Amino acid sequence: MLTYDFAKAQGPLYEYIYQCIKDDIMEGNLRQGEKLPSKRSFAKNNGISTITIQNAYDQLISEGYLYTIPQKGYYVAKLEGMKKVQRESSLSLHINMPEGRASYEVDLSDNRMNPALFPFSIWAKVLRRIISAQSGELMETSPAGGIRELRVAIAEHLKSFRGMLVDPDQIVVGAGTEYLYGLLVQLLGNKRQYCVENPGYRKIVQVYRQYHISCKYADLDEKGMTFEGLCATGADIAHISPNHHFPTGITMPAGRRYEILAWANEREGRYIIEDDYDSEFRLNGKPIPTLFSMDACEKVIYMNTFSKSLTPTIRISYMVLPVHLINRFYRELSFYACTVSNFEQYTLAAFIRQGYFEKHINRMRLYYSRQRKKMMETIRKSKLNTVCEIMENDSGLHFLIQVKTDKVDEEILRALREKGIRINALSEFFFTPSERKHCFIINYSNVDMEKAGKACDIFYQIMME
Amino acid sequence: MLTYDFAKAQGPLYEYIYQCIKDDIMEGNLRQGEKLPSKRSFAKNNGISTITIQNAYDQLISEGYLYTIPQKGYYVAKLEGMKKVQRESSLSLHINMPEGRASYEVDLSDNRMNPALFPFSIWAKVLRRIISAQSGELMETSPAGGIRELRVAIAEHLKSFRGMLVDPDQIVVGAGTEYLYGLLVQLLGNKRQYCVENPGYRKIVQVYRQYHISCKYADLDEKGMTFEGLCATGADIAHISPNHHFPTGITMPAGRRYEILAWANEREGRYIIEDDYDSEFRLNGKPIPTLFSMDACEKVIYMNTFSKSLTPTIRISYMVLPVHLINRFYRELSFYACTVSNFEQYTLAAFIRQGYFEKHINRMRLYYSRQRKKMMETIRKSKLNTVCEIMENDSGLHFLIQVKTDKVDEEILRALREKGIRINALSEFFFTPSERKHCFIINYSNVDMEKAGKACDIFYQIMME
């Protein structure tokens, strides 16, 4: 007969009994096939109710530790595998979480969003209205490409802002550009050769590598990816940012664009992925027309994101696919649920449609163009100016400085970090050994100018040491 | 000299001039290398300001249609590739968007969320508080695994609700379970054999297929995936839902669990993916302990989602990785940004921490258990009851009915659809020809009982025809 010390019970009594019996089974005190006392006698002997025992037995049955034979009673189940499974962990591994981003006195390596600039109250207001007016839609499954309202809003934005004529049904919305890169590989296949810009954005290569694609690298000249470089890679797919290359800032001129388009037209299965990640921040003049708009042969896939224009912490990017590829997407990949929550899709759609997005962009452009001006003035007023040249093209959230020095880039970066200044060198963005030395990237969007002035002086001192 | 009809200009004049010159270049009226009129003479001849011409020329330069030689003037750029690029599309493809889900009078094929049950006002209130109190954090990049607040809240929920002891740093949050399946393949590799349950959830196989994995299928007996079936596949990775199998509803008993765990322990590189997609909705008794909790050898990957417990339209799922795998995740995959927006991560974290999630689940369980009872009563009261048997196990949001009939499943389903009733047969969820015939899945969560009663009668009539 089972006897347990009920004084030890904490919480519901049936749970205690359940745990005691389970422990006895696992420790072998109750053998497999052994009959348990009947509910009634067990209850009576211990002065507790039958229903308590019933609950404990029921739980053990539903977990498979006991089984019952009607009219006969309860038995311990066969648990053959149990002996083969280690009960106590012999492993006591340590979790190595990557350290958070170190904090620097002056950080020019990153365009972190200034929280004061995000339109929180409008965003919250728009969401509140959506919740009260469209709660039904919020619970309806989104199409794989995103809800239609958002795709229509994006198409209208692309028309007025980028001069692009796009059917909303060509648009696919997803939780970040990296996610969309992955979808594209699934759509185009990983047996093809992919070619990226050298230097370029390292994450593109990291994502492609996850799909077992080893990217080819094509060098750039002052007009962007060279036609000869692209041809030499033997690639089928060219992933480029012709409107504002990261990190050099190059805008690909029309002549080169037509060359690259002609390359894509030469052979079936060739595509160009046009990554237009910060097109909203061309600070002067009209925006440069997209390669997508110049293409009439369904060769260009256009990608953009709200990470730069809104905030990277709301994960919404999109791509515009040529018609035959959007058809393939819905044929082959529409089993995937859209990765962006309906709440944020509807909020963003209304935010764009009601003109808030345009206002926000205009405000940000003004802010960034002032920051840019201040940052350039700060450099020009500092001693650093005597040994560096600013290279810029009125676009995006960064510019470059070329420094005259004999020092090695890594040394300079290390010395700067020791003084609390974080900055990237252009050479860090090359996939092959680079000859572009002593060129540094100034991400100015969220920098305190007083600190930036001191940082310029420190930079100069390091050069002179 | 260029002459354009300025009366036709709409919008800014410089844009009109820019477009006219661009058109002339593209149509060959302005030849490559040809010199353009000086800004001054062009302006004077047309009675417009030099600055307007300057702006038009600047835009054409920045796009690469013109170039300038200082002190000499403006020239049309070389655009060799242009002739090779088709200008007018010869393609006029039609976009084949998948049709929206057809609407049925009675839909038992899907557990669509009833909008009236989602706690909109609390969700909105929690988000509003987050926006006013944590706007800084909302703009800070989330770690790849998700923000710590949310991971801590999930770990506490797992402890109190599932009896699982989990370090928050073992948790990876992502935009939906399908996304996490993809991450897992990247983590475990696609050269391994993956095995799924037959019958089972078709999407798992579709996602794996995208990563060039052809899944093996292991049959089930009344205890779930069989040990022999699993061994016969030669698989390294078993993807199972031991706590409530979809669609059969089987709960794997302890004995079978130990067998499967022992299988995983036999060889390095073997893993079990435990998909616990609707564990919150076990309606009676304590929840069944997870396989993850029974494993002391780092063999089980636990997955769960807020799709069932909150709504599928907020895309948040998570997985709990064994320590050595979470370390691998941060080493190899932490370049990926977390796919869930900070706004929703912080909102959900507070929603759980402040007890709203538990309240919501309790409310939903009560609602579902009433719906279940009503649905079973409805069947029992109808004529359908004379030819069917209800098979249920107090868990999840569906149960099965086994119908006595000689008809073919597909015929029954078609006849039902013609009468406005949508339902799935168990046979549809088999990956191989199935012998489990005439078994149907009743998803009752959002059904009008009056209509359901009529549907049962129609079902009966179809059986009798």
Q: Which residue in the set A15, A207, A254 is minimally distant from B63, CB to CB?
A: A254
Choose among B164, B171, B105: nearest CA to B345: B171
**Which of B83, B210, B293 should be substituted to probe chain A, the one whose Cβ sees the most A Cβ atoms within 10 Å?**
B210
Distance from CA of B196 to the nearest CA of A (A): 18
Distance from CA of B88 to the nearest CA of A (A): 6
Is B115 in Cβ contact with A138 (below 8 Å)?
yes
Chain B residues in contact with A338 by the CB 8 A cut-off are 315
Q: Which residue in the set A18, A85, A88 is minimally distant from B265, CB to CB?
A: A85
Is A18 in Cβ contact with B286 (below 8 Å)?
yes
Distance from CA of B456 to the nearest CA of A (A): 26
Number of residues written out for chain B:
465
**Nearest-CA residue of chain B relative to A394?**
B62
Rounded to 10 deg, the angle between the B342-353 and A342-353 helix axes is 130
**Nearest-CA residue of chain A relative to B82?**
A258
Chain A residues in contact with B131 by the CB 8 A cut-off are 120-121, 123-124
Choose among B276, B245, B280, B452: nearest CA to B363: B280
Is B138 in Cβ contact with A298 (below 8 Å)?
no
Residues in CB range of A4: below 8 A, 6 or more apart: A16, A17, A20, A46
Q: Which residue in the set B81, B288, B296 is minimally distant from A87, CB to CB?
A: B296
- Find residue B300's DSSP bridge partners: B272
What type of residue is A165? L
Is A210 in Cβ contact with B186 (below 8 Å)?
yes
Distance from CA of B445 to the nearest CA of A (A): 14
Is B285 in Cβ contact with A55 (below 8 Å)?
yes
Q: Is the pLDDT of residue B101 over 90?
A: no
CA dist., res. A89 & res. B265, Å (int): 12
Chain A residues in contact with B121 by the CB 8 A cut-off are 131
Is B313 in Cβ contact with A141 (below 8 Å)?
yes
Q: Is the pLDDT of residue A8 over 80?
A: yes
* β-strands A66-69, A73-76 pairing: antiparallel
Question: Taking phi first (over 0 means left), then psi (-120 to 50 degrees means alpha), and beta for anything else, what does residue B363 get?
Answer: alpha
| Predicted confidence band of residue A88 (pLDDT cuts 50, 70, 90) | low
Is B179 in Cβ contact with A339 (below 8 Å)?
yes
Distance from CA of B425 to the nearest CA of A (A): 20
Chain A residues in contact with B311 by the CB 8 A cut-off are 138-139
Measured CA to CA in angstroms, residue A267 lies from A270, A296, B89, B111 at distances of 6, 15, 17, 47
Q: Which residue in the set A95, A142, A252 is minimally distant from B170, CB to CB?
A: A95
Cβ-contact B323, A95 below 8 angstroms: yes
**Nearest-CA residue of chain A relative to B117?**
A139
Q: Is the pLDDT of residue B88 over 70?
A: no
What type of residue is A36? L
Is B295 in Cβ contact with A85 (below 8 Å)?
yes
Q: Is the pLDDT of residue B335 over 60?
A: yes
Cβ-contact B264, B272 below 8 angstroms: yes
CA dist., res. B360 & res. B354, Å (int): 12
CA dist., res. B204 & res. B197, Å (int): 10
What percent of chain B clears pLDDT 70, i.e. is strictly above it? 98
CA dist., res. B98 & res. B116, Å (int): 28
Range name among B87-96, B283-292, B334-343 with the lowest pLDDT average: B87-96
Q: What is the pLDDT of residues A256-296, one digit of tens each?
A: 999 999 999 999 999 999 999 887 887 777 788 999 999 98
Omega of the bond leading into B247 within 30 degrees of 0 (cis) = yes
What type of residue is B407? K
Chain B residues in contact with A112 by the CB 8 A cut-off are 139-141
Find the mean pLDDT for residues A83-112.
Answer: 76
| Predicted confidence band of residue B166 (pLDDT cuts 50, 70, 90) | very high
Chain A residues in contact with B95 by the CB 8 A cut-off are 167, 169-170, 323, 326-327
Omega of the bond leading into B12 within 30 degrees of 0 (cis) = no
Distance from CA of B278 to the nearest CA of A (A): 17
- On average, the pLDDT of chain A sits at 91
Is B143 in Cβ contact with A91 (below 8 Å)?
no
Is A139 in Cβ contact with B295 (below 8 Å)?
no
Is B210 in Cβ contact with A169 (below 8 Å)?
no
DSSP conformation class of A290: P
Is B285 in Cβ contact with A59 (below 8 Å)?
yes
A–B CB contacts, 8 A cutoff, strictly below: 324
Q: Is the pLDDT of residue A99 over 90?
A: no
Burial of B370 per CB tally in 10 Å (0-12, 13-18, 19+)? exposed
Chain A residues in contact with B179 by the CB 8 A cut-off are 175, 179, 339
Choose among A246, A253, A158, A153: nearest CA to A204: A246
Which 3 state secondary structure label does DSSP give A46?
Answer: helix
**Nearest-CA residue of chain B relative to A58?**
B285
Cβ-contact B20, B52 below 8 angstroms: no
Measured CA to CA in angstroms, residue B437 lies from A198, B196, B245, B251, B464 at distances of 59, 21, 18, 21, 17
Question: ∠B201-B306-B147 over CA atoms, to 5°?
Answer: 125
Summarize chain A as % helix, strand, coil (round to 5): 45, 15, 40
Chain B residues in contact with A212 by the CB 8 A cut-off are 190
**Which of B341, B445, B446 should be substituted to probe chain A, the one whose Cβ sees the most A Cβ atoms within 10 Å?**
B341
Cβ-contact A277, A241 below 8 angstroms: yes
**Nearest-CA residue of chain A relative to B346?**
A313
Q: Is the pLDDT of residue A103 over 90?
A: no
Is A342 in Cβ contact with B341 (below 8 Å)?
no
- On average, the pLDDT of chain B sits at 91
Chain A residues in contact with B100 by the CB 8 A cut-off are 143
Chain B residues in contact with A120 by the CB 8 A cut-off are 131, 135, 138
Choose among A357, A368, A358: nearest CA to A446: A368
Which 3 state secondary structure label does DSSP give A390?
Answer: strand
What percent of chain A clears pLDDT 70, i.e. is strictly above it? 98
Distance from CA of A461 to the nearest CA of B (A): 32
Structure token pair of residue B451: 């209509």
CA dist., res. B46 & res. B2, Å (int): 10
- Find residue B198's DSSP bridge partners: B219
| Predicted confidence band of residue B87 (pLDDT cuts 50, 70, 90) | low
Q: Which residue in the set A80, A190, A313 is minimally distant from B342, CB to CB?
A: A313
Is B175 in Cβ contact with A312 (below 8 Å)?
no
What percent of chain B clears pLDDT 90, i.e. is strictly above it? 75
Range name among A43-47, A252-256, B148-152, B220-224 with the lowest pLDDT average: A43-47
At A111 the pLDDT is 77
| Predicted confidence band of residue B1 (pLDDT cuts 50, 70, 90) | low
Q: How many CA atoms lie within 13 A of A223 on its CB side?
A: 20
Q: Is the pLDDT of residue B97 over 90?
A: no
**Which of B21, B51, B62, B185 should be substituted to probe chain A, the one whose Cβ sees the most A Cβ atoms within 10 Å?**
B62
Is B297 in Cβ contact with A86 (below 8 Å)?
yes
The Cβ of residue A6 has, within 10 Å, a number of other Cβ atoms equal to 13
At B173 the pLDDT is 98
Chain B residues in contact with A207 by the CB 8 A cut-off are 335-336
Q: What is the pLDDT of residues B263-283, one digit of tens each?
A: 999 999 999 999 998 878 877
Is A96 in Cβ contact with B331 (below 8 Å)?
yes
Q: Tell me the three-class secondary structure of chain B, residue by residue.
A: CCCCCHHHCCCCHHHHHHHHHHHHHHCCCCCCCCECCCHHHHHHHHCCCHHHHHHHHHHHHHHCCEEEECCCEEEECCCHHHHHCCCCCCCCCCCCCCCCCCCCCEECCCCCCCHHHCCHHHHHHHHHHHHHHCHHHHCCCCCCCCCHHHHHHHHHHHHHHHCCCCCHHHEEEECCHHHHHHHHHHHHCCCCCEEEEECCCHHHHHHHHHCCCCCEEEEEECCEECHHHHHHHCCCEEEECCCCCCCCCCCCCHHHHHHHHHHHHHCCCCEEEEECCCHHHECCCCCCCCHHHHCCCCCEEEEEECCCCCCCCCCCEEEECCHHHHHHHHHHCCCCCCCCCHHHHHHHHHHHHCCHHHHHHHHHHHHHHHHHHHHHHHHHHCHHHHHEEEECCCECCEEEEEECCCCCHHHHHHHHHHCCEECEEHHHHCCCCCCCCCEEEEECCCCCHHHHHHHHHHHHHHHHC
Q: Is the pLDDT of residue A91 over 60?
A: no
What type of residue is B265? N
Cβ-contact A237, A192 below 8 angstroms: yes
Is B97 in Cβ contact with A169 (below 8 Å)?
yes
Omega of the bond leading into A247 within 30 degrees of 0 (cis) = yes
Which 3 state secondary structure label does DSSP give A274?
Answer: strand
Distance from CA of B32 to the nearest CA of A (A): 11
**Which of B286, B292, B338, B445 should be substituted to probe chain A, the one whose Cβ sees the most A Cβ atoms within 10 Å?**
B286
Cβ-contact B335, B183 below 8 angstroms: no
* β-strands A388-391, A317-320 pairing: unpaired
Is B333 in Cβ contact with A210 (below 8 Å)?
yes
Distance from CA of A188 to the nearest CA of B (A): 11
Q: Is the pLDDT of residue B84 over 80?
A: no
- ipTM score of the complex? 0.92
Chain B residues in contact with A115 by the CB 8 A cut-off are 135-136, 138-139
